Structure 1
């Protein structure tokens, strides 16, 4: 399961474990903000959950997470975009 993740995600998980799960320490290590680290972790968790369920990663969630990680999008904005997208998908499937 973990081997299916990209190298950068596996490295992140390794550093996260070595930091005893401290997002604050991870933010310092990577030289980014706490919300950026939180977004990275959320993306990795989502990918792992989907892999466990035999589903491919959600492309929109991946894109939004990458934009947050690069500082091009704020987490709150990404959550709003994802929420609107999911609502539109639900309406379409009804």
Structure 2
């Protein structure tokens, strides 16, 4: 469970609250006083971060590009194109 330790403190707390609320996103929305879609987006971003942490075997370039997507610095569509071009050049 090393991935948990690598998450930011706020994300760890979010996961704790998710578990305490039996996985209910509606309950989390009440706890954080935000809308359900806001909670869903946050959870999706945490899931993406966890996936990145688990994919340490990937090149650091690709990981950095995907981190930019998670942090809304780059669109997913553009990131895919950049990674595809990078992989083609590596061949």
Structure 1 length-normalised TM: 0.68
Q: Which residue of 1 is the match for residue 79 of structure 2?
A: 86
Root-mean-square deviation (Å): 2.4
4+ residue segments displaced more than 6 Å: none
Q: Tell me which moved more, 41-50 or 3-12.
A: 41-50
Gaps of 5+ in 1: 68-77
Tell me, yes or no, if structure 1 residue 18 matches structure 2 residue 17. no
Q: Tell me which moved more, 84-93 or 8-17.
A: 84-93
Q: Which residue of 2 is the match for residue 28 of structure 1?
A: 30
Q: State how far apart, in whole Å, the 2-side matches of 1:18 and 1:87 are.
A: 36
Q: Which residue of 2 is the match for residue 63 of structure 1?
A: 71
Structure 2 length-normalised TM: 0.70
